[in-house]
Chain A
Amino acid sequence: DIQVTQSPSSLSASVGDRVTFSCRASQSISTYLNWYQQKPGKAPKLLIYAASSLQSGVPSRFSGSGSGTDFTLTISSLQPEDFATYYCQQSYSTPITFGQGTRLEIK
């Protein structure tokens, strides 16, 4: 199985900050890396697919980059509704695997 490891496990930031989340795969996955946002009691919401493609309807302050084994999700200017947990997911091969998540908290 391909392991995906996220860092940090939690992050404190303020409204208006620029924040970056990292995800590392245990082997090269090209650009088969996706990012989800999840709020308590809700299903995950797809933000970015194929490493850098913005899902329809997602604000442009979200962006993704990377290829191979190292990937980044960036929020350019945090909004109050962005405080949530973020997961990366590799879809290069089955079993599809998720990272353990980064919890974004209000400073």
Chain B
Amino acid sequence: QVQLVQSGAEVKKPGASVKVSCKASGDTFTNYYIHWVRQAPGQGPEWMGIINPGGYRMTYAPKFQGRVTMTRDTSTSTVYLQLSSLRSEDTAVYYCAGVSSAAAAGTPPDYWGQGTLVTVSS
């Protein structure tokens, strides 16, 4: 199984960008798809997208297309989420979550990071 540890809280101004990291340990990093999910205060989770084990195929939620970039660095077993043109509505806890590439299509992620609070405020 894999453990996912995320970077610390961020405070950004409107219009800026943020890059959140998610470092994997415990199992072979390239065996996992990584999802990104965010949760605004008092709201339900919201799926942002997924990056494949090789890091060459990403699927983004249409809502974030054009503002989001997901990348992975296999040398450091780290996945990154970058979100640009931040606005106050982007204030949320951002989670990475992993699912084994051996699992059937549609299997949800069962390994989650601890979450990273991103606050967007002027």
Chain A: residues with CB nearer than 8 A to chain B? Answer: 1, 32, 34, 36, 38, 43-46, 49-50, 55, 87, 89, 91-92, 94-101
Contacts and interface: CB of A to CB of B under 8 A. Distances in A.
A87 B45 contact: yes
Contact of B47 (A43, A50, A98): A98
A9 to B, nearest CB: 11
B109 A43 contact: no
B110 A43 contact: no
B110 A46 contact: yes
Contacts of B46: 98
The main secondary structure of chain A at its interface with chain B is: loop
A91 B44 CA distance: 16
Interface size class of B (residues with CB under 8 A): 20 to 34
Contacts, number: 54
A91 B47 CA distance: 10
Contacts of B63: 95
Contact of A44 (B106, B112, B114): B112
B91 to A, nearest CB: 16
- What 8 A-B pairs are tightest by C-beta distance, nearest first? A43-B112, A95-B61, A96-B47, A34-B108, A91-B106, A46-B110, A32-B106, A98-B45
Contact of B106 (A45, A92, A95, A98): A92
B57 to A, nearest CB: 12
A95 B62 contact: yes
A101 B35 CA distance: 20
Nearest to B63: A95
Contacts of B106: 32, 50, 91-92
